[in-house]
């Protein structure tokens, strides 16, 4: 029997994004308790630009594309969260600008917290506490980075809204398990599965952190006489290289997901998922199901009585997504 197309996903605010080979879809539980589903065709960059399939480059491209889709999904879900308070296109546009600014600021903070600050502490502070040599300092830096990351995850897990996102994360994993095992898209059936999944992106994050230790060590050896500022800048410039190498490691290990290598590589990510996933409610699983249906059936399985579904030919403005009844171009109710 031919293998099924691989489907991945992401939890968003009060919803789930699913991504298949040709389509990605976002399902969101609206404030009025209805479910809105938006399905988008995936750009065919790989067929039009063969370089995106080359080793190392494909990992960088996958990361960029995933971040892009993830941001779009977050913007859609976020716009529904403020729909009642911002019921005009002008107000919705202002909210979208604010979300774009927040995402930009968040990226800068992430670079600082997980890239430059650990490097600065290990280089500047390490020499003052007896951590000498490039190898020890890079191990020290990696330890700081992992500690910051775990501390950050534990801290945000205390926020009620984030707890709900983690529940939707669990719903996403359960629904993907059901899809992979040909089970019916029924909330009670899906709820029997685990919230932990070996192909979760958290596995990739841990691989990135371990590969970064090796990559940064090589960079420090090549820049042995360079000032600290240059070494910090090199950390940022190396992000695409580290991402590309990490993708190749995951890709090689994942060729046999039952192998000892793959299971060993997956252990840190599975352990972290005990924090980043929570048991979902049946209502949350229902949202994940609608996102899955939006991918595998091109929104054909949606129920018009409970779900608003839109076929969107190109990324639309938030105001367009929230006000299809005004006849906005590019968005048509299914």
Q: Which residues neighbour 220 within 8 Å (Cβ) at sequence distance 6 or greater?
A: 134, 137, 138, 231
Q: Residue 281: what pLDDT? A: 95
Which contiguous run of DSSP H or E holds residue 270? Answer: helix 260-276
Q: Are 5 and 21 in contact (CB under 8 A)?
A: yes
Q: Is 333 helix (H, G, I), strand (E, B) or coil?
A: strand
Phi, psi of 2 (to 5 degrees): -65, 145
More reliable by pLDDT, 128 or 235: 235
Q: Residue 11: what pLDDT? A: 93
Structure tokens, 276: 């980043």
Q: How confident is the model at residue 74 (pLDDT cuts 50, 70, 90)?
A: confident
Closest C-alpha among 98, 41, 91 to residue 75: 98
Q: How confident is the model at residue 56 (pLDDT cuts 50, 70, 90)?
A: confident
More reliable by pLDDT, 325 or 238: 238
Structure tokens, 255: 């060729």
161, pLDDT greater than 60: yes
Q: How confident is the model at residue 132 (pLDDT cuts 50, 70, 90)?
A: confident
Q: Is 312 helix (H, G, I), strand (E, B) or coil?
A: strand
- DSSP secondary structure string, 28-62? EE-TTS-EEEEEEEPP-HHHH-GGGGSTTHHHHHH
Q: Are 130 and 141 in contact (CB under 8 A)?
A: no
Q: What's the helix, strand, coil split of the chain in %, to 5?
A: 60, 10, 30
313, pLDDT greater than 80: no
The span from the CA of 196 to the CA of 270, in Å, is: 6
- Say which range, 18-27, 122-131, 203-212, has the weakest mean pLDDT: 122-131
């Amino acid at each position: 029997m031919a293998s099924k197309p691989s489907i991945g996903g992401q939890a968003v605010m009060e919803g789930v994004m699913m991504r298949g080979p040709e389509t990605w879809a976002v399902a969101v539980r609206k404030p009025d308790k209805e479910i809105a589903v938006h399905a988008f065709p995936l750009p065919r960059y790989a067929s039009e630009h063969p370089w995106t399939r080359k080793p190392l480059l494909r990992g960088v491209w996958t990361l960029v594309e995933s971040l892009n889709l993830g941001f779009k999904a977050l913007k859609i879900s976020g716009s529904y969260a403020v729909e009642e308070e911002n019921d005009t296109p002008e107000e919705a546009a202002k909210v979208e600008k604010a979300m774009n600014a927040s995402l930009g600021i968040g990226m800068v903070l992430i670079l600082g917290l997980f890239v430059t600050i650990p490097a600065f502490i290990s280089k500047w502070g390490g020499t003052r506490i007896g951590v000498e040599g490039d190898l020890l300092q890079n191990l020290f830096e990696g330890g700081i980075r992992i500690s910051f990351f775990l501390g950050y995850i534990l801290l945000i897990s205390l926020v009620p809204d984030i707890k709900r996102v983690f529940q939707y994360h669990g719903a996403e994993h359960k629904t993907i398990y059901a899809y992979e095992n040909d089970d019916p898209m029924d909330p009670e059936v899906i709820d029997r599965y685990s919230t932990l999944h070996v192909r979760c992106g958290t596995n990739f994050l841990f691989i990135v952190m371990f590969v970064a230790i090796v990559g940064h060590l090589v960079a420090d050896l090549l820049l042995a006489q360079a000032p600290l500022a240059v070494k910090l800048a090199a950390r940022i410039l190396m992000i695409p290289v580290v991402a590309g190498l990490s993708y190749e490691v995951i890709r090689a290990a994942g060729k046999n997901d039952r192998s000892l290598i793959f299971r060993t590589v997956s252990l840190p990510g599975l352990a972290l998922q005990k924090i980043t996933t929570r048991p979902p409610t049946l209502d949350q699983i229902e949202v994940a199901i609608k996102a899955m249906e939006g991918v595998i059936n091109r929104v054909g399985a949606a129920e018009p009585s409970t779900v608003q579904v839109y076929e969107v030919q190109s990324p639309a403005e938030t105001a367009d997504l929230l006000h299809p009844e005004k006849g906005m171009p590019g968005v048509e109710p299914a």
